[in-house]
Amino acid sequence: MRIALFGNPYQEKYKQELNDFVGYLQDSDQLMIEKDFKAYLISIGINTEMSQSFDVEKFDGADLAVSIGGDGTLLSKAALLARHSTPVVGINTGHLGYLAACRLNESRAMIESIKRGECRHEERTMLELVSINGKRCDNIIALNEIAILRQDTTSMISMPTTINGTMLTTYMGDGLVISTPTGSTAYNMSAGGPIMMPLTSCLALSPISPHSLTMRPIVVGDDSEIVVTINTRAQWIQVSVDGMAMTLPSGSTVKIAQAPYRLSVIQKLDHNFANTLREKLLWGADQR
């Protein structure tokens, strides 16, 4: 297999396990390591002599991508991998690892299962920031959410919002989270939004600190085109795409829709969403 490996530079305590895993991949597959991650591995004494390096800007796809780190590590490469139809398996060395399939000590067995076809490919919906003030954007993609936020002010934001050209409401508050099912357990959940099964065909709009007792989250179809105009007394607002923020002037209008491609996330055959909620988020746990 042609495998692309990337990760974050916080792996020192996993050095031996990581060295064994990288050695295994080099012995059994055509391994490419993202150049910055490869430099980091070399710096902590991991042998990468039998692997190639690749530049993210020149990445042209692989049979499989392996993400070593937390959810943020996988999110940072999600759009790139989806554009090149490269499935990804997450190896968790972070805190929660909600998107990961296994821990590092299970990684070799996980790769062997993938090679035997004993795994699940979950096609995850992604969001696209289609345009800003009518100007087409260039591949601004989110796996979790696109969030509209106030910046450097306590002034409330007014956000007239339409769905497929029909007026929905004017949200008033600190902001608005537009979330995929994958992102429903991230910022959306913190904002009081609904948890959605990962493969459902829907999106959630969840207001942040709404200035109304009746302004509740709403779930819409994932074929919805969402247009939001953002007004505030302050000069600037923020739009965050999976945590990557951009600053826009007050009065800006953004159009958001489902991205033209999906990310294939690999999980174990026995992976169960409800189990993940209970084990990692303590969903429904009785503390009495």
Tell me which residue of 53, 82, 62, 68 sits closest to 264, measured CA to CA. 82
Q: What is the pLDDT of residues 58-78, one digit of tens each?
A: 999 999 999 999 999 999 999
**The pLDDT value given to residue 280:** 79
Residue 72 lies in a domain: yes
Task: Encode burial over 130-157: b for 16+ CB neighbours within 10 A, e otherwise.
Answer: bbbeeeeeeebbbbbbbbbbbbeeeebb
Residue 83 lies in a domain: yes
pLDDT of 272 above 90: no
Residue 287 lies in a domain: no
What is the token pair recorded at 284? 């429904």
62 Cβ contact list (under 8 Å, min separation 6):
2, 3, 4, 32, 84, 86
pLDDT of 240 above 90: yes
pTM of the model: 0.91
pLDDT of 266 above 80: yes
**The pLDDT value given to residue 154:** 79
Dihedral pair phi/psi, residue 282, rounded to 5°: 55, 35
> Could you list the residue range(s) of the whole structural domain that residue 55 is in?
2-124+262-281
**The pLDDT value given to residue 153:** 76
Q: What is the pLDDT of residues 130-151, one digit of tens each?
A: 999 999 999 999 999 999 999 8
Bin 209: left if φ > 0, else alpha if -120 < ψ < 50, else beta: left
**The pLDDT value given to residue 283:** 80
- Residue 71 annotated among the catalytic residues of the structure: yes
Catalytic residue among 71, 138, 222, 286: 71
Dihedral pair phi/psi, residue 104, rounded to 5°: -65, -35
Q: What is the pLDDT of residues 164-177, one digit of tens each?
A: 999 999 999 999 99
Residue 274 lies in a domain: yes
pLDDT of 273 above 90: no
249 plus 131 within the same structural domain:
yes
76 plus 106 within the same structural domain:
yes
Section 264-268 average pLDDT: 96
**The pLDDT value given to residue 34:** 96
200 plus 88 within the same structural domain:
no
Tell me which residue of 199, 180, 184, 219 sits closest to 271, measured CA to CA. 199
Q: What does pLDDT average to over the chain?
A: 94
**The pLDDT value given to residue 192:** 95
Residue 286 lies in a domain: no
* Interatomic CA distance for residues 64 and 41, integer angstroms: 20
- Percent of the chain at pLDDT > 90 equals 85
